[in-house]
Amino acid sequence: MSTSIPVQSHDALGDDSEGKQLAAFARVPPQDLQAEQAVLGSLLLSGSPKSASYRYFGEILDTGLVAEEYYRPAHQMIHRAILEVHEAGEPVDPVTVANALTERGQLARVGGASYLHLCVEAAPTTANGPRYAEIVRAKAYRRAVIESANRILEFAFSEAGDEDEVRALVEQQLTDIVAGTPGLHEVPPAVADLYLPFVAETEDIQNGQRTGLTYGLDDLDMVTSGMHPANVTVVAAQSGVGKSTLALNMAVAAAKAGAKVLFSSLEMSSTELMQKIVAAEKKIALHHLTHQGGLTSEEWEKIHALGPELFQKLSLRVYRPEGAALGDIASAARACARAEGLDLLVVDYLQLVEITQSRNMTREQAVAAVSRGLKNLSVLLDCHVIALAQLNDDGMVRESRAIKNDASVLIKIERPDADETESPRAGEVDLVIEKNRFGPTTCVTVAGQLHYSRFVDMART
């Protein structure tokens, strides 16, 4: 239960209304530490797949509870450690979680291994774990409301900005509050509710109207019916074949079609990305852009024209995280989704993305966790994800079979002229579709114009 910290009397403050405001700010924020302990205890008791109560572990996480919603920082650390152990494929219990906290250097900070057992004792029954989680989320939601209200008050008292800026801040804060309202999941729709939307979508498909975002290549769109929300396309190739170029072409094509796109690059700088876009759009040789004095006056005119012609109209954002953590990419994607919506996320490339991994997690398990995280993100944000992946010399996706499992479409880039200088297929590139949930597995051949940093459809007779 919330309690109040003693404050000065209203007489001492000299103004009754001001005293009430200060008293309101002095209150302890809403929280329920007992419920927080009970949630952690329920997770610790039900976290083993062999446990009879294992289903309650999933039900607790299905409430949407995240570490940041705990009031006590120690509880946030324990929750993160529980998820780390679970994602590593290990059973969750006080021993495995204490080991994870020790590896993080946090065991003493949370109160030692004995505190984990105290949390277990605080959980009357694991069956009520989801309810305890809802209590914790409800308290966190109230704290978020207070924080938003405080931001509005501080901005209003500061007298900064004009009426439009005040209104924009209030609208944004209220939107965030409403969007974050915790609660039970809605009842899933019945097939009767799905029938009419299904018929309408089927009519669109049969009438030749694309239901997915364009890849920018007609033959590829025809085979896959474009990029669909809540799905992942993996573009795999060996180093130097052009997978980053192809993905950037796809991102620009989708943005030109009106999609909201985020391109997260762990390899190229924003300048390199811009150089590739300019080269592809205006057919300027890439080496002209990257070498001193390489541009002609005509090419400079083309570059200047791209501002109003393309870049000021294109809803394409470029994100180069300081690190390479999956959490940073997910956070940037969520920010884009909140700001203006997000239709396509491109990650270049998957094996460079990092997660917090335990000592016993293999590299393959870590890559699998990244792959699963991107798949979950596509569902959560209802966007399409293009994830680039590196191939081994034997043509297999490096380090994880899970990448193929999580993909809806898997495209391998192959250049038949790579090892043959006089190849009759010079300039041709095969996009080998090894997996396709929306159509056949086949090979689409395109023209590789890598000097312009682009791939285009083969010329038709």
Q: Does residue 70 have a cis peptide bond before it, meaning omega lies within 30 degrees of 0?
A: no
Read off the tokens for 273: 């990305």
Instruction: State the residue for tokens 């025809």.
Output: 222
Alpha helices in 283-384 (DSSP H): 286-290, 297-306, 326-339, 363-381
* Beta-bridge mates of residue 414: 430
pLDDT digit string, tens, across residues 170-202 = 777 776 666 655 544 456 778 888 888 888 878
CATH number belonging to domain 210-457: 3.40.50.300
CATH class entry, domain 31-186: mainly alpha
Separation CA 56–CA 266 (nearest Å): 37
Separation CA 402–CA 385 (nearest Å): 16
Mean local confidence (pLDDT), 205-231: 86
Separation CA 155–CA 161 (nearest Å): 9
The CATH 3.40.50.300 portion of the chain extends over 210-457
Residue 258 is given by DSSP the state T
Read off the tokens for 154: 């501080």
Nearest to 144 by CA among 180, 196, 114, 170: 180
- Say which range, 18-27, 171-180, 201-210, has the weakest mean pLDDT: 18-27
- The per-residue pLDDT for 180 is 59
Separation CA 255–CA 295 (nearest Å): 27
Instruction: State the residue for tokens 């005119």.
Output: 301
Alpha helices in 1-104 (DSSP H): 10-13, 16-25, 33-46, 54-62, 73-87, 94-104
- The per-residue pLDDT for 51 is 81
Read off the tokens for 373: 């995280």
The CATH 1.10.860.10 portion of the chain extends over 31-186
Is the CB of residue 87 less than 8 Å from the CB of residue 367?
no
Between 52 and 358, the more confident residue is 52
* Beta-bridge mates of residue 455: 448
User: Which residues are CB-contacts of 297 (< 8 A; sequence separation ≥ 6)?
Assistant: none
Side-chain-facing half-sphere of 426: CA atoms under 13 Å: 5
* Beta-bridge mates of residue 430: 414, 445
The backbone region for 374, taken as left when phi is positive above 0, alpha when psi lies in -120 to 50, beta otherwise, is alpha
pLDDT digit string, tens, across residues 280-335 = 998 988 889 888 888 888 989 988 888 888 888 889 999 887 767 787 888 788 88
Between 315 and 6, the more confident residue is 315
Q: How far is CA 203 from CA 134, 199, 210, 215, 297, in A?
A: 42, 6, 11, 22, 51
pLDDT digit string, tens, across residues 353-367 = 877 655 566 777 778
Separation CA 26–CA 294 (nearest Å): 65
